[in-house]
Amino acid sequence: MKTFFFSIMITLLSTALYGQYYYTPNTYYVIPPTNGCDGVWAVNDSILSTTTCSPSYLITIIPTGCASYSHYNGDTLFLNLCSIPCSYSMTSFSSSTPCFNCSVSSSTAPVSSSCIAADSIIAKYKEDADRLALRRVNSMNYTYIDSINIPEQLSDTILKAIIAVYNATTIPARDSVITMLDIHSFPIPEVKSVLVSADPGLAWMQQLQNNIIPTGNSTIDSLMEKYYLIMNSYHTWSNLLSYHSVEFKSDSSYNMLMLANKFETIPDVMYASAINIPGDGNDITDSIYPNFVELVFSLGWGDCPSGCTARRYWKFHVFHDCSVSYLGSYGNLLLSNSISDIQNVELKIFPNPSTGFITINSNAKINSIIAHNILGEEVYNSIISNTDYEKENSLEINLSTKPKGIYFISINFENKTLTKKVVIN
């Protein structure tokens, strides 16, 4: 194993390359890459002998960190080029002319797009952008990590990038992630809902239980007004606990963990928390670079309530002028009919709210059903056999013995998991 810096000197001896390869002018590479410079490149003297170059060689990689690893197999050098746009050249010390170069290929050249969209499209992806911005705040430990408000400029940067991918209709992969799979960010962290628990005997809790607003508690009422909170549900937990809980929901996105902390400073409040859906699923991730925003859309499947066992990724770069490059897909392979199967899944869960007797209808075969309570604890788990699903694609589950409150029902299909929130009262 040898580590590369910006430029290094290597001597390559004549040898054969092992593995499947494709020939391009003056070089060849092992699968991957599929686009541009990305992937594992292999070089040896059997190719260089066709050029005017001779050892020793100077390898230059731009940007410097483009090579994530390098190693030899025999006398063949392998480079993993992990960033686009990038350039990779090898030059002989005896000549100033490069032996060969790698640069962005036509398949990854940016296509024109736009960061402008109708209000309905902006509303569709606004929560995704806010969530990705909040993830970045948390992971990068920004100075406003303790702020309830999500930085608008950061969210707007990500939203424009998502809209640019949405508008890049000439890229076939755009149809996969936008139209057919309709991929959004997995709802962690929560940006819309907060759960507040307190003694049900308090006057303001009784007001909420009777759906009377304002509550009479000036601090509670002030927070509800400031952050556009409405009472979405009230939970008695079948009076098994010493407290009741209220789910407040906003039509705007906030750092709900910090808002929960704000509620917990109120003397009457026993406990407050953001409401997070357990498990795993489809997602969008972002990386922000000086010249572009990288967006990776992913489809997860296979026991996603416990953590998806398979995942497929699609990578895009969005530049300052809103042009978009598609860098390819990677990860677990989809079956030939997987996308159409996923696209055509229909699911109905009713009644909601209910007393705990819940009917689930779908046009696709359900493999398993898992339910979690609002604390993330698994309260129901059932593997569905073929014989269980013969009655008009309909199943019934019984959660009537569980305490009243919010539950998350995860329905696991062959190549997709859908999670729905239900209320038992």
Query: What CATH number is associated with residue 415?
Result: 2.60.40.3080
pLDDT at 192: 93
Rg of the chain in Å (alpha carbons): 27
Residues 327 and 403 in one domain: no
413 and 350 inside one domain: yes
For residues 267 and 323, membership in a common domain is answered with no
Q: What is the pLDDT of residue 10?
A: 28
pLDDT of residue 94: 55
Q: Which of 81, 307, 95, 271 is nearest to 195 (CA)?
A: 271
Q: What is the pLDDT of residues 358-410, one digit of tens each?
A: 888 887 788 888 888 877 778 898 888 765 555 456 788 999 888 877 888 88
Same domain, 178 and 306: yes
Best CA proximity match to 57, nearest among 85, 77, 86: 77
Confidence tier at 80 by pLDDT (50, 70, 90): low
Residues 102 and 151 in one domain: no
Same domain, 17 and 62: yes
Of 54, 137, 36, 41, which is closest to residue 91 (Cα–Cα)?
54
Residue 123's pLDDT is: 95
Is residue 246 included in any domain, yes or no?
yes
Residues 248 and 366 in one domain: no
The predicted model scores a pTM of 0.66
The separation between CA 170 and the C-alpha centre of its own chain, rounded to angstroms, equals 23
Q: Which pLDDT score, from 0 to 100, does residue 350 have? A: 85
Identify the H or E element spanning 348. Answer: strand 347-350
Residue 5 pLDDT more than 60?
Answer: no
Q: What is the CATH number of the domain that holds 214?
A: 3.30.70
Please say which residue of 239, 256, 274 terminates a domain.
274
Q: Which of 202 and 61 is assigned the larger pLDDT?
A: 202
User: Do the domain assignments include residue 127?
Assistant: yes
Asked if residue 394 is part of any domain, the answer here is: yes
Q: Is there a single domain that holds both residue 171 and residue 301? A: yes
Instruction: Tell me what pLDDT residue 305 has.
Output: 76
CA distance 194 to 353: 19
pLDDT band at 89; cut points 50, 70, 90: low
Cα distances from 276 to residues 71, 123, 150, 194, 364, in angstroms, run: 43, 21, 17, 9, 27
Return the pLDDT at 352.
81
Contact 345, 362 (CB under 8 A): yes
Q: How does pLDDT run across 231-279, given as a tens digit for each residue?
A: 988 888 877 788 999 999 999 999 999 999 999 999 999 999 988 777 7
Domain range enclosing 89: 7-106
Judge whether 113 lies within some domain: no
H/E run at residue 160: helix 152-167
Q: Is residue 52 scored above 50 in pLDDT? A: no
Domain identity same for 85 and 25: yes
**What is the C-alpha to C-alpha distance for residues 79 and 38, in angstroms, rounded to an integer?**
10
Give the C-alpha separation, 112 to 322, whole Å.
7
Domains identified in the chain, total number: 4
Q: What is the pLDDT of residue 125?
A: 97
Q: CA-CA distance, 412 to 424, in Å (whole number)?
A: 21
Does the residue 111 lie in any domain? no
Instruction: Give tens-digit pLDDT for 103-136.
Output: 433 345 788 999 999 999 999 999 999 999 999 9
Please determine, for residue 195, whether its predicted confidence score (pLDDT) is greater than 90: yes
Of 246, 56, 254, 74, residue with least CA distance to 149: 254
Q: Extract the tokens encoding 148.
A: 């309830």
Residue 61's pLDDT is 55
pLDDT in tens, 306-323: 788 888 899 999 999 999
391 within a domain of the structure (yes/no): yes
Sheet hosting strand 67-73, strand order edge to edge: 21-24, 27-30, 39-43, 76-81, 67-73
Specify the range with the lowest mean pLDDT, choosing from 9-23, 196-210, 285-299, 397-411: 9-23
Beta bridge partners of 420: 409
298 and 173 part of one domain: yes
Domain co-membership, 288 together with 170: yes
Given 274, 293, 312, the domain boundary residue is 274
- Domain ends where: 57, 75, 106? 106
**In a domain? residue 358:** yes
Query: pLDDT tens digits, residue range 151-172?
Result: 999 999 999 999 999 999 988 8
Mean pLDDT value of segment 173-187: 89
Q: Flag whether 340 is in a domain.
A: no
Same domain, 144 and 208: no
Averaged pLDDT for residues 161-185: 91
